[in-house]
Structures are given as C-alpha cells and as structure tokens.
Amino acid sequence: MLRVAVYNADGETVGETELREDIFGIEPNIAVMHQALLRQLANARLGTHKAKTRGEVSGTTQKVWRQKGTGRARHGSRKVNLWRGGGVAHGPRPRSYEQQMPRKMRRLALRSALSVKAADGQIVCLDRLEIDEPKTRTMAEVLERLGLDTSVLILLPERNENVEKSVRNIPDVRTLRAGYLNVRDLLDYDFLLMPLGALREIERILG
C-alpha cells in the first residue's frame, strides 16, 4: 500500500492519502513509455513543409538554347533544379506524422510514468489549491513553503483561472488539467503537485 502525506497551502501536513497500487505502484514499462513519448512528439508535428517542384516555380518554358551546335550541354527548361530559381528535386511535401497507439498502451504508459514519480518521491499532494485572485507572488510562496524549488507540474481537477494565471510567470512551473495528463509533461517536470481532487480524477480516468 502506497501512502503519501497531504499538505495544505501553508506547507503543513494535514493527513495522509492512499495511492492506488494499480496506478502508482506498477512495474514501469519503459518501452511503452518511450513509444508513447515518440507518438506524442510525432503528433505535434504540423507536416506543412513544402518545396516547389519544376512544375510549380515561375519561369519561361522556352528552350534555353538550341539543341545542337552551341558546344554547350543540352537544356530544355530553366525551371529544372540545375538552374538558379528552378524547382527542388525530391523536396519535402506536406504529410501527416500522426501515429496510432492502442488506448490500453497509452494508459499503461501513463501508469508507468506515475509509478516512476511515486517511487522517486516526486508526487506532492495538497488538500486543496485555491487562490482568491491571480497573483504570481502568492503561488510562488505556496511552492516555496512546500519546498518545491525545481520544475513543477501542477495538476488541476478542473479549470481554475486564478491558479492558471498565477503560474504563468513562474519559470519551470506549469498547470495542466488532470484530463489532459500525458507522458511528455510527466517526464519534463521533476515534481508532480496535485490537490486531492486531481488525484481522484486521475484514478477515475485510469481506473
């Protein structure tokens, strides 16, 4: 059974909560985590790169010079890739880099990443995270009282504009709603900070 301390915004321990073994205590599958990360990076690519071919560049279609008798190599068009301003041969074309991955594998990758965080003691739970008004200093003081002086991913159970706006100007700190949890963000940040509401949401999604 995995148990972690629950803190309040003042950095005081107010209790404990249990982390489900099937989500936070499994043997991490590194291969599936790697595949999920590559899939996410690939799906983020736009694939809008394009180079013009000889049929798409502007230019004359007139033959450069006559075929024979000049002593020079024969040429039929100034739009080929041999000439300045000509088209590109075998250049990049618009394409999709999207990769598919079964839902069970995606969930296994998330559970593996969460289990790595739990094993390394990089999960911090709060009883609740509420701020009366958007203020960077207030959020920075909360993180300082919790001893989080490195990169932090803050999971929220639902939209919270005050918290989201308060984090924007803090380096290496980001908010993310629990429903959008992904392997890339889990690996990018050292600590995972989440109120109990976000923890219950993760358990509902991955349970």
Whole-number mean pLDDT of the chain? Answer: 93
pTM as predicted: 0.83
Of the pLDDT bands very low, low, confident and very high (cuts 50, 70, 90), residue 207 is: confident
Identify whether residues 7 and 56 lie together within a single domain.
no
What is the Cα–Cα distance from 189 to 49, expressed in whole angstroms?
30
What's the sign of the alpha-carbon dihedral 111, 202, 99, 92?
A: negative
Identify whether residues 112 and 191 lie together within a single domain.
yes
Identify whether residues 159 and 186 lie together within a single domain.
yes
Long-range contacts of 20-24 (CB under 8 A, 24+ apart): 20/203, 20/207, 22/111, 22/207, 23/111, 23/114, 23/115, 23/202, 23/203, 23/206, 23/207, 24/111, 24/114, 24/115, 24/117, 24/118, 24/123
What is the Cα–Cα distance from 98 to 42, expressed in whole angstroms?
6
pLDDT surpasses 90 at 61 = no
Of 66, 96, 126, the residue at which a domain comes to its end is: 96
What is the tally of structural domains in the chain?
A: 2
Identify whether residues 124 and 167 lie together within a single domain.
yes
Domain that holds residue 89: 47-96
Rounded to an integer, the average pLDDT of 157-185 is 94
pLDDT surpasses 80 at 1 = no
| Token output for 114 | 């969460």
Identify whether residues 33 and 125 lie together within a single domain.
yes
Per-residue model confidence as pLDDT tens digits over 109-159: 999 999 999 999 999 999 999 888 999 999 999 999 999 989 999 999 999
Q: Which amino acid is at 171?
A: P
Residue matched to tokens 């995270």:
129
Identify whether residues 59 and 139 lie together within a single domain.
no
Q: Contact at 8 Å (CB) between 57 and 117?
A: no
Identify whether residues 15 and 62 lie together within a single domain.
no
Identify whether residues 41 and 63 lie together within a single domain.
no
153 DSSP assignment:
E
Identify whether residues 142 and 175 lie together within a single domain.
yes
CATH code of residue 151: 3.40.1370.10
Identify whether residues 197 and 122 lie together within a single domain.
yes
